[in-house]
Amino acid sequence: MAHNPLTGGRCLLRGFGLITRPGLRRYVAIPLAINLVLFVGLIGFGAAEFGHLVDWLLSPLPGWLDWLRYVLWPLFALAAALITFFTFSLVANLVAAPFNGLLAEAVERQLAGQAAESAGGWRALLAETIPALLGEVRKLGYFLLWAVPLGILFFIPVLNLAAPFLWAAFSAWMLAIEYMDYPMGNHGLAFPLQRERLRAHRGSALGFGASALLATMIPVANFVVMPAAVAGATVLWVERFRSGE
């Protein structure tokens, strides 16, 4: 079962169910609320500044062209919606990084009756914030290390035919690394050891990452993919990775 992609996909589906359980919902609600406040604030600020820009652009024009205002504002709304859709997951990962370790700990406790000995609960949240954010930066560096040469393939004739498929596989692998980091990190596995464990279960890891990738493309659902994926990754850890099957 270590190389069965369906195993990873089933774990992600279980993750969506787990985050609705009592005792786990708070780990989803708090970072989601922070992100919503952050995005609402940024969009509100952007709308105010855009209003000043529209007034400045239209002020020298004759009054009969004021109808342009009703064209520019829908364009702003469309741009804001697109920016939110494509950046929400990235910002959500940064904001929720300190909470995701706690979510993985709580899920493991519900599944296995115990969590990692190193997990420290809410009191460890502040102490873990900086290491968690540094971990995100480390994963970003690993992503860029492979993303740059894969991106170059898109510009090489013949090879560019395979580039989209290679990029999709790489994206699935990166999402597996991203979310499996939380349960494995709770058990003290460093980044190189995490990659080694993932390679030993490559099929399950790619199936999990591919399922998460597809879920991020679904509007609205992509807002809760991250906590569901953390919960699903913990299921995969408890049932497959932890025992080294």
**Is 117 a residue whose pLDDT tops 60?**
no
Average pLDDT over residues 127-151: 74
Look up the pTM and report it. 0.71
What sign results for the dihedral spanned by CA atoms 157, 175, 219, 81?
negative
Percentage of the chain modeled with pLDDT above 90: 13
Q: What is the pLDDT of residues 19-48, one digit of tens each?
A: 988 888 888 888 778 777 777 777 787 778
64-68, 87-91, 144-148, 210-214: least confident range: 87-91
Please state, as a whole number, how many other Cβ atoms lie within 10 Å of the Cβ of residue 28: 21
**Is 120 a residue whose pLDDT tops 60?**
no
Instruction: Note the pLDDT of residue 125.
Output: 54
**Residue 58 CB partners (closer than 8 Å, separation 6+):** 65, 66, 68, 69
Instruction: Note the pLDDT of residue 119.
Output: 47
Q: Which residue carries 């209003």 as its tokens? A: 51
Average pLDDT over residues 86-104: 71
Q: What is the 8-class DSSP label of residue 239? A: I
Q: What is the pLDDT of residues 214-233, one digit of tens each?
A: 988 887 677 788 889 999 99
Q: What is the pLDDT of residues 159-205, one digit of tens each?
A: 888 888 888 888 899 889 989 988 988 887 877 888 888 888 888 89
Q: Where are the domains of the chain?
A: 5-24+88-241
**Is 87 a residue whose pLDDT tops 80?**
no
Percentage of the chain modeled with pLDDT above 70: 80
Mean pLDDT of the chain: 79
